[in-house]
Amino acid sequence: MTAVPATGTGIDTDTDLARLRAAVEIARRSRAAGNHPFGAVLTGPDGEILLEAENTVTTERNATGHAETNLVRLSTAAYDADFLRTCTLYTSTEPCAMCSGAIYWGNIGRVVYALGEDELLAMTGANDENPTMALPCREVFRSGQRDLPVVGPVDLPEAREVHTGFWN
């Protein structure tokens, strides 16, 4: 893998950036389908995309239908816990507290995200469609009993752009 310029966030491979961009494209697809603009992918230890999920809160009328939670449901149904600990979940936006809990209990081994939850809150404000909790995923993971490495936020303009005009 070819190294990319340091961003100060711990991301260091073209594969990581490509997988984040894939998550943003899924967020774009989610928005086009009438849902909130969030997307996530799961990769195996070799970086191959195994699963993907988009947000389904609106179309399925399910408050827990966040992209990451949907991905954890798919992942835990398809793979055992030992394998999932070798996997990475890439997401267009930092996982919320609910999704962070699901990721932790789903035994995902690593998380990489683009847009920070604080950045999203600055974009959405007090929007009823996005009742953000000011609880970074790192804090949720630190409360657990196992180490869960997190990389992010990663500065990808397209991760912000997918939200432009949506929350107005």
Q: Is 52 a catalytic residue?
A: no
By C-alpha distance, which of 153, 160, 161 is closest to 114? 153
Residue 72 near residue 138 (C-beta atoms within 8 A): no
> Residue 164: what residue type?
T
Residue 53 near residue 26 (C-beta atoms within 8 A): yes
- 49 DSSP 8-state letter: E
By C-alpha distance, which of 50, 22, 16, 47 is closest to 150? 16
Please pick, among 52, 54, 60, 68, the residue that the annotation labels catalytic: 68
Strands 150-151 and 39-43: unpaired
Phi, psi of 98 (to 5 degrees): -65, -50
Residue 81 near residue 109 (C-beta atoms within 8 A): no
Catalytic residues, by residue number, are 68
